[in-house]
Amino acid sequence: MTKRNIDNILALYTQDQRINTSYPDSRREVLPHLIRDIASSADGEGAIIYSALDETNADAEIRAQITFFTEIGQNFEWKVYDYDTPSNLERRLASHGFIVEDAEAIMVLELAAAPPALLQPGGHDIRRITRPAELEDVRMIKEAVWQDDATNLIAYLTSALTEHPELMSIYVAYVDNAPASAAWVYFPEGSQFASLWGGSTLAEHRGKGLYSSLLAVRA
């Protein structure tokens, strides 16, 4: 892929997924230099999903958002991409008390150009989760893999299933009728992108192609 193609995809992603996107469980506010999401639930978390700052206003805007979310009693995160400005935005946020988490990467695939092998079913027992009670299988997988309480995640997925089922499809792979791997796909309303999430497989079932089958069913 050429740099021009990458730049075009990045521009499309920025417009589609950061500037124009909205989420059903939050309120979107567009300000002169940034866009923020405010969680609708009392225990939800807000976010700065897009910012266009410079050396002259970055610190003031950071302080303003800290003040705003503190006053409404809501935790929030600041989404920072490596092309965001100013170039030292991450360091500035850290100096204001933000915790810098591990870097993540975005991978984009145009489905029309997907390799045929990706779209082939793998012969595994893959089931779509359609009822909240079935999410206990997802909980078991997530807690076993990550050794962490999945209560908040299950609450989020339950809300998605019951209130906005058209925006998300959740799948579990089973081995001998027992849950072994889980993943889901999110379809933002009006977006050209679908995003893949989850992707957790029990240690004893890795290397068997379960996640490849989950990838295929979501593609």
Domain at 125, CATH number: 3.40.630.30
78 and 7 share one domain = yes
Q: Per-residue confidence at 19, pLDDT binned at 50, 70, 90?
A: very high
Is the pLDDT score of 121 beyond 80?
A: no
90 and 118 share one domain = no
Q: Report pTM.
A: 0.82
Q: Give the pLDDT score at 1.
A: 66
Summarize pLDDT for 83-97 with one digit per residue, the tens: 999 999 999 999 999
81 and 156 share one domain = no
Q: Write out the residue range of the structural domain in which residue 71 sits.
A: 3-95
Residue 105 placed within a domain: no
- Separation between Cα atoms, residue 204 and residue 123, nearest integer Å: 18
Residue 189 placed within a domain: yes
Residue 65 placed within a domain: yes
Q: Per-residue confidence at 140, pLDDT binned at 50, 70, 90?
A: very high
Residue 107 placed within a domain: no
Enter the tokens of residue 132. 């909240």
Residue 101 placed within a domain: no
Residue where a domain stops, chosen among 63, 95, 127: 95
> In the chain, what is the greatest distance between 2 CA atoms, to the nearest angstrom?
60
- As for how many domains the chain has, the answer is 2
Residue 139 placed within a domain: yes
Among residues 144, 154, 147, the alpha carbon closest in space to that of 202 is found at 144
163 and 213 share one domain = yes
- Separation between Cα atoms, residue 38 and residue 36, nearest integer Å: 7
Residue where a domain stops, chosen among 47, 62, 95: 95
